[in-house]
Amino acid sequence: MAATLLGCEVSDLCLGKPALRSISISATVADALSILTKIDEGYISVWSCGDHSSSKADSDLHCRCVGKVCMVDIICFLCRQENLLQPAIGLQSPISVLIPEGFELVKHLEPHASLMEAIDLIHDGIHNLVIPIKMSTSQRKNILKKSPANSISSLHNDQEYCWLAPEDIIRYLLNSIGLFSSTAANPINSLNIIDTNNILAVRYDESALSILPLISQALIHQSSVAIVDLDDKLIGEISPLTLNFCDETVVAAIATLTAGEFMAYIDCGGPPDDLVQLVKERLEEKNLEAVLEWVEEESLTISSSSSSICSSSDDEFGCGSSSTGSGRSGRICGYSARVMRRSEAIVCYPWNSLVAVMIQALAHRVSYVWVIQNDGTLAGTVTFASLLAVFRDRLKSL
């Protein structure tokens, strides 16, 4: 079993993976927003191609994935003071402003690369590995035939790509957990994987706007922002995962609510009417009429789009169901009804086993788990990256 695992190539983990949705580095924030509001995926890949080539066909043969963009990136960008005053102008900014500087979060990797090489890269901070999908000539021709003339091609370098995330590798390793039985049964506090240095937490009465830098850090660390009470006990979280399925109008709530109020605003089921009214009143108090007007216009657009989708294809998009609708067509008041995710934090204790925490994170589709003490105070976090570090060390000792 050990030999099989060590001989595994990353292409083995790519079976059935969908091709990446992509956007050009020359696009605008508005272009990225338009794509993200129409797809199920939380991220789109950003590509830099041979812009000086003589033809589009040539430029598509010299492409690199240089980053990824999600709704959280756009929300944080629109919440900047200058963009709150003129949100429509902010949306015309180049998409490059959404890609964090100084962090290499995506990296190309050949399909024959080993599993260990992939784990090493994620250990070094890579979020997503961009892997070519094996294709036949006939498959390439079919993709080109089916692609509308003005659409963004999924082909780059005459090739489709998918990407691997830490979750994919953790799930793959779970199938071979017997190989790590002696380590997997150990409590996490004995494995030195509880991160106590990067705890992102705020009191519930702090302004939601003030925690945006922590949200950006949470994206980098693949974690979340804890909401604590006056005794520093965990009462909930504001997770990039939840924010990622909000629409752009949630910017108004961030600009006006406290962290505790905002946690309730994005909680499962959509915001209560009293909070929606409170947001409108506070926007007027803060002289942010431009945001209010923009939000009302965007809300009408989203509502109109949702109605159009539902009337044209009710069965396909699951309209009328708050839990199974596809895409973001079910969003109301800045919330996607498709995502049944509460603000209640996923927690474990220091004495829980490695495999228990691993399964817990996979079951909830999160890349982190909060570690708390008996009294509810925060002890730290365990992330997929720290879990992979344990398996990495174990594999290297085999």
* Domain positions in the chain: 10-50+60-163, 187-302+342-395
Element of type H or E holding 224: none
**By mean pLDDT, which of 83-92, 244-253, 266-275 is the weakest?**
266-275
Q: Following DSSP, what letter does each residue of 148-199 receive, concatenated?
A: -TTSPPS-BTTB-EEEE-HHHHHHHHHTTGGGGHHHHTSBGGGTT--B-S--
The secondary structure of residue 118, as a DSSP letter, is H
Reading the block at residue 110, the tokens are: 């050949």
What is the number of other CB atoms lying within 10 angstroms of the CB of residue 111? Answer: 15
Q: Which of the pair, 131 or 152, is modelled with greater confidence?
A: 131
Q: What is the pLDDT of residue 7?
A: 81
When pLDDT is cut at 50, 70 and 90, the band that residue 335 belongs to is: very low
Amino acid at 133: I
Residue among 115, 116, 104 at smallest CA distance from 220 = 104
Model pLDDT, residue 336 = 44
d(CA 256, CA 165): 34
Contacts for 208 with CB less than 8 Å, ≥ 6 apart: 238, 253, 254, 255, 256, 257, 258, 259, 261, 262
Q: How confident is the model at residue 29 (pLDDT cuts 50, 70, 90)?
A: very high
The yes or no reply on domain 10-50+60-163 and CATH 3.10.580.10 is: yes
CA 47 centroid distance within chain: 18
d(Cα 15, Cα 334) in Å, to the nearest integer? 35
Bigger pLDDT: 155 vs 220: 220
Q: What angle do CA 335, 319, 248 make, to 5 degrees?
A: 25
Closest CA to 73 of 108, 109, 36: 36
Is residue 75 scored above 60 in pLDDT? yes
Q: How confident is the model at residue 341 (pLDDT cuts 50, 70, 90)?
A: low
Question: CA geometry: angle at 43 spanning 37 and 45, to 5°?
Answer: 115
The vertex-370 CA angle with 368 and 371, nearest 5°, equals: 130
Residue 304's pLDDT is 59
Alpha carbons 255 and 252: distance in angstroms, whole number:
5
Q: How confident is the model at residue 61 (pLDDT cuts 50, 70, 90)?
A: low
Return d(Cα 127, Cα 67) in angstroms, integer.
10
User: Predicted confidence band at 395 (pLDDT cuts at 50, 70, 90)?
Assistant: confident
Q: Is the pLDDT of residue 139 over 60?
A: no
The residue-averaged pLDDT of 189-216 equals 94
Residue 171: band (very low, low, confident or very high) from pLDDT cuts 50, 70, 90: very high
The confidence score (pLDDT) of residue 299 equals 72
For the chain, the C-alpha Rg in angstroms (whole number) is 22
Q: Do 10-50+60-163 and 187-302+342-395 show the same overall fold? A: yes
- Among 42-56, 98-112, 246-260, which is the least confidently predicted range? 42-56
> Is the model's pLDDT at 92 over the cut of 90?
yes
Residue 146 has pLDDT above 60, yes or no: no
Which amino acid appears at position 372 of this protein? I
- Residue 49 banded pLDDT, cuts 50, 70, 90: confident
Q: What is the CATH number of domain 187-302+342-395?
A: 3.10.580.10
Number of Cβ atoms within 10 Å of the Cβ of 261:
19
User: Residue 72: is its pLDDT beyond 90?
Assistant: yes
In the numeric block, which tokens belong to residue 3?
A: 């030999």
Region 104-128 average pLDDT: 94
43-70: average pLDDT: 74
For residue 125, is pLDDT > 80? Answer: yes
Mean pLDDT of 21-44: 91
Average pLDDT over all residues of the chain = 83
pLDDT at 5: 79
The pLDDT value recorded for residue 138 is: 53
pTM of the entire structure? 0.84
- What are the φ and ψ backbone dihedral angles of 44, each rounded to 5 degrees? -125, 145
Q: How many CB atoms sit inside 10 A of residue 35's CB?
A: 16
Residues in the chain: 398
Average pLDDT for residues 383-398, to the nearest whole number?
Answer: 90
At residue 148, the pLDDT reads 44
What are the φ/ψ torsions at residue 314 (nearest 5 degrees)? -60, -45
Given a cut of 60, whether residue 96 has pLDDT beyond it is yes
* Closest by CA position to 64, among listed 121, 113, 24: 24
Q: Mean pLDDT over residues 42-48, rounded?
A: 93
pLDDT at residue 144 tops 50: no
